[in-house]
């Protein structure tokens, strides 16, 4: 949800008692909050224009190409279009961002597999992998510390399937074997991501189905956007399309005025 914070924090300066900051300035504000971008284009629609001083924006459209929210991650295509936005102007004048009405937006992202693999090879991800434990049934605490993960790589397949490879390192024997996971991806009711017919091999040997099913059940229970409703955010996936080179996803987002997401520091 970090990109939502970027957009909302930029809107802090779009409305003031004296009028509107130009689209070009809004683009600059967004660029200040990301690492870099090949293209950022912002269009702010408001008719009549005097409503802006009352805290209402009819629509905000943001188009990004080659966007790096962080140095390690490139988003090939990033498009956002909002419904009307009603900002609590007195709160804004006090330095706070508050909404009079919920904000709704549709967002379109395209990720390239090559760009995601750059992220996966980064130190940021390796640091995260170093915190993970080798948690399988029958594995002792000592064995969990013995094994680690490295060199993850992702490949998109046809039929909305994805393949992930990762090395399992034996830190005692200084050896490693490759694990390969292949699974389909399906979104149910717009919020639940489900792994479809997953297969796992370790050192070219298939992992027993009962272990895969136990692992999948735990993963599927966590892969839901409903968890964001705890902070008054409704998120739904409208489209998920995997091609051999790209991941294309469209997301709907609704943020209620009471959402904790609005309580950030600029």
List the domain boundaries for the chain.
Answer: 2-112+226-262, 117-223
261 with 105: CB under 8 angstroms?
no
Three-state DSSP at 64 gives strand
Q: Is pLDDT of 67 > 90?
A: yes
**Strand positions, DSSP E, the chain:** 15-16, 19-20, 36-45, 56-57, 59-70, 73-82, 85-86, 103-112, 147-157, 161-170, 175-188, 192-202, 205-206, 233-242, 246-255
pLDDT of residue 20: 47
Looking at the DSSP bridge assignments, the partners of residue 154 are 164
110, two tokens = 């395209």
Count Cβ atoms below 10 Å from residue 39 Cβ, excluding itself.
Answer: 12
pLDDT of residue 136: 54
Higher pLDDT, 68 or 27: 68
Phi, psi (5° rounding) for residue 263? Answer: -95, 65
**Model confidence pLDDT, tens digit, residues 183-203:** 999 999 999 999 999 999 999
pLDDT of residue 12: 53
The predicted model gives 214-230 an average pLDDT of 85
Count Cβ atoms below 10 Å from residue 163 Cβ, excluding itself.
Answer: 14
Higher pLDDT, 74 or 259: 74
pLDDT of residue 48: 55
- DSSP secondary-structure letter at 44? E
65 with 37: CB under 8 angstroms?
yes
- Which of 73-77, 191-195, 262-266 is least confident? 262-266
Mean pLDDT of the chain, nearest integer: 83
Maximum mean pLDDT: which of 9-18, 93-102, 108-117: 108-117
- Total-model pTM: 0.84
pLDDT of residue 111: 97
Q: Is pLDDT of 6 > 90?
A: no
pLDDT of residue 60: 86
pLDDT bracket for residue 11 (50, 70, 90): low
Residue with tokens 């709704």: 104
């Amino acid at each position: 949800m970090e990109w939502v914070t970027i957009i909302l924090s930029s809107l802090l300066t779009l409305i003031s008692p004296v009028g509107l900051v130009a689209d070009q300035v809004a683009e600059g504000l967004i660029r200040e909050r990301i690492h870099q971008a090949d293209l950022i284009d912002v269009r702010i629609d408001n008719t009549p224009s005097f409503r802006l001083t009352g805290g209402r924006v009819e629509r905000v459209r943001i188009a990004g190409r080659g966007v790096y929210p962080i140095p390690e991650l490139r988003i090939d295509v990033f498009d956002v279009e909002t419904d009307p936005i009603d900002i609590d102007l007195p709160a804004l004048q006090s330095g706070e961002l508050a909404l009079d009405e919920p904000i709704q937006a549709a967002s379109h992202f395209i990720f390239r597999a090559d760009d995601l693999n750059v992220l996966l090879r980064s130190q940021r991800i390796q640091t995260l992998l170093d915190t993970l434990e080798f948690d399988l049934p029958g594995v002792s605490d000592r064995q969990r510390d013995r094994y680690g993960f490295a060199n993850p790589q992702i490949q998109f397949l046809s039929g909305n399937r994805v393949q992930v490879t990762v090395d399992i390192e034996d830190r005692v024997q200084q050896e490693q074997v490759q694990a390969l996971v292949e699974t389909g991806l399906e979104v149910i009711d717009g919020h639940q991501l489900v792994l479809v017919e997953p297969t796992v091999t370790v050192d070219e040997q298939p992992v027993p189905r009962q272990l895969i099913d136990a692992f999948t059940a735990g993963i599927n229970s966590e892969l839901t956007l409903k968890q964001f409703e705890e902070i008054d955010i409704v998120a739904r996936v409208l489209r998920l399309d995997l091609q051999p080179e790209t991941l294309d996803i469209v997301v709907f987002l609704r943020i209620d005025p009471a959402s904790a997401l609005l309580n950030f520091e600029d």
